[in-house]
Every structure is written in C-alpha cells, then in structure tokens.
Amino acid sequence: MAERLQKVMAQAGVASRRASEQLILDGKVTVNGKTVRELGTKVEPSDKIEVSGEPIDSREKLVYFLLNKPRGVVTTTNDDKGRQTVMDIVDEPERVYPVGRLDYDTTGVLLLTNDGDLANRLMHPSYRIDKVYVAKVKGIPTNEQLEQLRHGVTVRTKQNGRYTTFKAAPARAEITSTNTKNHTAIVKLTIHEGKYHQVKEMMKAVGHEVLKLTRERYGMLDLAGLTPGEYRPLRYEEVQALKAGKQYRKSAGRW
Ligand code: URA
C-alpha cells in the first residue's frame, strides 16, 4: 500500500513526522535514487528510501506500546501453564517484549518494545525511572512504618531462582486513604528498582500484606485513557522523553 513518505520515515524511527518533512524539504531524502522535495509524495513498500545516503530499511522499525495490564495475565513471552500472556494482548506484527515485569495479579502501566537498548537502560536502577505503585494493604501503616519505607527496608527477593535478601533504596511513601471499617489502607509507593515482588515484599517487611496492586505510573507514562487490557502506541515525544529519562513533574503538568 502506498503511504506518504514522511509517515514511512517516522514509522521507521528516522525522526518525527514534522522533522521528516523538514528533511524532505532540505533535499536530504531520495526515493529510488532520486531526490524528492514534495511533501505529498507517496511511496510503495518496494521503494528504496535513503536519508542522507543511508537506507532507512537497514534498521528494524522500532515500536513502543503502553499497555494497561489486566489481572490474570503473565508478563512473559510464553507461559508453560498455558495462561494468557501480555504478548497475546499486544497483537502486533513486530516482536515486542515487556520492559520489566508485573505480577500475574498486578495491573497497570507496562511498556512493550523491540528497542532493546532503551529497554536495558530503563530497567537499570541507575536510570532512576520513577515507578509509582498504588497498593491496597491489610491494616493501616503507622508513621514509623512509612518512615522505615522512606529510609529503605531489607526485603526478601528471588534472583536466578534463589531467595536472597536485598536492601531496597529509600522510597517515597504516603497513605492516600484508609478504611477503618475494613481495616485497610491505600498506600502510594514510588521506587526506582524492580526486584521480584518488590512492593509486596517492602510492605510485608513493615508488617502489611498487599491485597491489590496497580502500577499507576512509569516515568511520565500513566494510565490515562486506557482501561485494563487496552494499549496504545507511544507518541514520538513520549519515546524521546523516555530516552531522555524525563519524569512527571506535578508543577509542570504532564512532564
Ligand atoms: N512489585 C510487586 O510486588 N509486584 C509487581 O507486580 C510489581 C512490583
């Protein structure tokens, strides 16, 4: 199917659509060896497009999706117990992978991409991506328990199939509501790490079982407009912001 040249360039990850238009106007783009300067030009998949002499199809098209992971779905590429996986939901021609993990019963923001470089960077704690979790917990945490979370608690975690202990970095921790009748509370925790069952273990370390868990935010990405099980492609600006390690800032709006 014939598509507009700037759209094909943006999809190939060359630049945003607008920046691709500028490259065309600047005479940097050739189609089948001929410089093209008209923005309306349509190209076929068989056409050879080059930007500054570099073929754009020499690199894999990089794609990025944001899923609101529902409960009852595993975050692996396939499951030996035959359970539904996030890959069954994000049904796209490219082979994408989840960036990090959410538990079977955890809902919320999950990024999937075939951009291995970015995925590796995002998963590294030194990148310090804010991960905001909202946990419904049994009991109502005291101020001292919240302070413990803010100083960093020692938790049990699993690494390469083995249990070990690990000192979690200081977290942002606050109670957003309490239910004195049911004796439960909603706790908001912001962390940068992503160890196995980290939030559940952090809450357990201060004496509270997690009953329900949602990841509300990942960097600047939140669940706006997505019900559980829905996903959308990231906008070009969102990918750039993730690459730059930009975070959400309350005072500055979305980021
Ligand atoms: N921490 C957990 O305990 N579970 C998740 O799914 C994510 C963070």
The pLDDT value recorded for residue 252 is 42
CATH numbers and ranges of domains, the chain: 3-55 (3.10.290.10), 64-125+219-244 (3.30.70.580), 130-218 (3.30.70.1560)
Q: How far is CA 126 from CA 11, 16, 122, in A?
A: 30, 28, 9
Residue 197 Cα to ligand 1 midpoint, Å, equals 4
In sequence order, what DSSP letters do the residues of 113-160 get, joined into one string? ES-HHHHHHHHSGGG---EEEEEEEES---HHHHHHHHH--EEEEEET
Pocket test for ligand 1, best of 99, 102, 132, 137 (most atoms within 8 A of CB): 102
The pLDDT value recorded for residue 117 is 80
Going by C-alpha positions, the residue among 41, 32, 36 that lies closest to residue 8 is 41
Q: Is the CB of 102 under 6 A from ligand 1?
A: yes
For the CA atoms of 241, 45, 91, 95, the dihedral, rounded to the nearest 10 degrees, stands at: -70
The gap between the terminal CA atoms of the chain, to the nearest Å, is: 37
The pLDDT value recorded for residue 181 is 97
Pocket test for ligand 1, best of 133, 195, 212 (most atoms within 8 A of CB): 133
DSSP 99: S
CB 20 within 8 A of CB 9: yes
Residue 150 Cα to ligand 1 midpoint, Å, equals 18
The pLDDT value recorded for residue 59 is 53
Catalytic residue among 88, 103, 105, 117, which? 103
Rounded to whole angstroms, the Cα distance separating 116 from 129 reads 17
Over its length of 255 residues, how does the chain's per-residue pLDDT go in tens digits? 788 998 888 777 777 778 889 899 999 999 999 999 999 899 987 889 999 898 886 456 889 999 999 999 999 877 888 999 999 999 888 888 899 999 999 999 999 998 888 888 888 878 888 999 999 999 999 999 999 999 999 998 887 788 899 999 999 999 999 999 999 999 999 999 988 899 999 999 999 999 999 999 999 999 999 999 999 999 999 999 998 877 654 444 443
The pLDDT value recorded for residue 60 is 64
The pLDDT value recorded for residue 255 is 36
